[in-house]
Chain A
């Protein structure tokens, strides 16, 4: 299960590295040489369906290897390091 979550996180993080290309003068045959890339570092979030729990969300940061337990308004309740299996 842990591996599946990690794989899902990896897939999401690779998708968020979006290549932004735009060539304003393409219609005139201009070939742009500049590619603008923005790496968005996002965390994989799982919402807790238990409304009575103080923990509202689990946020995984795969790159840095930790999980955040988030409460209301994304307040950090605790941080747990992900150990390799």
Chain B
């Protein structure tokens, strides 16, 4: 009898401790979100590097060392500053952009002749969410269209250069002002400088979506922080699924970036999940279902009105691969 009681007690204790651990991990997300929210509200100074760290650290259950992350970036930043000085380029506005670009894409002594490459394996992070991370990129020297432009922006800001993120369907790239004062595009998945026309055609971007500003516009600093809030929410959803936290974070980020398609889609998916969950219950809350359906329809209508057309992942993968094939066809070697 005593044995049975002890086993039950152990079982209850096991469940309680797992639940406690999960709650503790979820709290890390909540704290990270609060800090990002303070940045976007203007209570705290906007720090893109810190905001990115907060998202990634939450996924790693708070085990990422911020000091080590900063040191890594600061060391690279110093190398880039030295490179600019060595070439006497201090007077150029875009010298920092160039230095960062060559560090990421070129074969140089500053990167030990090892440029960063595109990681074709699970490039959407479907199996492994860390594939999206800047920390993964720094460690493995390979990343995707999320981590590469994020890292570029972080490094540019570290050395006092300016760079903005820009969005395309399922894609992030860099925009910055060139020496002549014109906005230019930097594509870090292949190290090129595509013109707007090429991006529009290749990524099937609708005129309506450009007009509404959802794609191809340089993101403001607040909008960039909203993107890190989206990343945080995405990481949370990857680990724990949809719940009220997902809805809370997307709604908060949408206040500062109302036309962000990624956030709107996250919100619609979360609302859809809530409807389906409620419908499965034996005693359904019909009023809740009706409210959520109305909210879902409203969100979807907004996405449609903004002119968004989703690019299927297979087309995106084909696009990235085609660039690599093109490079190989031209017998270009980059010592990768």
Interface residues of A (CB under 8 A from B): 20, 22-25, 27-28, 30, 32-36, 38
B102 nearest CB neighbor, chain A only = A30
* A contact residues around B221 at 8 Å (CB): none
Contacts of B89 in A (CB 8 A): 28
Q: Is the CB of A23 within 8 A of B193?
A: yes
B residues lining the A interface (CB < 8 Å): 87, 89, 92, 94-95, 97-98, 101-102, 106, 178-179, 184, 186-187, 190-195, 197-198, 201-202, 323, 326-327, 330, 332, 334
A34: B residues at CB distance < 8 A? 187, 190-193, 323, 326-327
- Helix, strand, loop or mixed for chain A's interface? loop
The reply to whether B197 and A24 contact each other, CB–CB distance below 8 Å, is no
B193 near A24 (CB under 8 angstroms)? yes
The interface residues of chain A lying within 8 Å CB-to-CB of B178 are 24
What B residues does A27 contact at CB under 8 A? 92, 179
Can you report 27 A-B residue pairs in the complex whose CB atoms are below 8 A from each other? A20-B194, A20-B197, A24-B178, A25-B94, A25-B98, A25-B101, A25-B102, A27-B92, A28-B89, A28-B95, A28-B98, A28-B102, A30-B98, A30-B102, A30-B106, A33-B191, A33-B330, A33-B334, A34-B187, A34-B190, A34-B193, A34-B327, A35-B326, A35-B330, A36-B192, A38-B201, A38-B202
> Do the beta carbons of B195 and A22 come within 8 Å of each other?
yes
| Given A20-B194, A20-B197, A28-B95, 16 additional A-B pairs, CB 8 A | A20-B195, A22-B184, A24-B97, A24-B178, A24-B184, A25-B98, A27-B92, A28-B98, A32-B191, A32-B193, A33-B327, A34-B192, A34-B193, A34-B323, A34-B327, A38-B197
Closest Cβ of chain B to A27, distance in Å, is 6
How many angstroms between the C-alpha atoms of A20 and B334 in the bound complex? 21
Nearest A-chain residue to B101, judged by Cβ = A25
CB distance from B299 to the nearest CB of A (A): 34
By a CB distance below 8 angstroms, the chain B residues around A20 are 194-195, 197-198
For B202, the chain A residues whose CB sits under 8 A away are 38
Q: In the complex, what's the smallest C-beta–C-beta distance from A19 to chain B, in angstroms? A: 11
**Within the complex, which residue of B87, B323, B327 is in contact with A28, where a contact is CB–CB below 8 Å?**
B87
- Chain A residues with CB under 8 Å of B334's CB are 33
On chain A, the residues within 8 Å of B327 by CB distance are 33-34
State the CA gap A20–B192 with chains docked (Å): 11
Question: Which single residue of chain A is at the shortest CB-CB distance from B176?
Answer: A24
Which residues of the partner chain A approach B332 to less than 8 Å between Cβ atoms?
33
| Bound: A38/B322 CA distance, A | 13
A54–B197 Cα distance when bound, in Å, is 35
> A36 touching B194 by the CB < 8 A rule?
yes
Q: Are A22 and B201 in contact, CB atoms less than 8 angstroms apart? A: no
Q: How far is the CA of A30 from the CA of B98 in the complex (A)?
A: 8
| Residues of B contacting A24 in the complex (Cβ-Cβ under 8 angstroms) | 94, 97, 178, 184, 186, 193
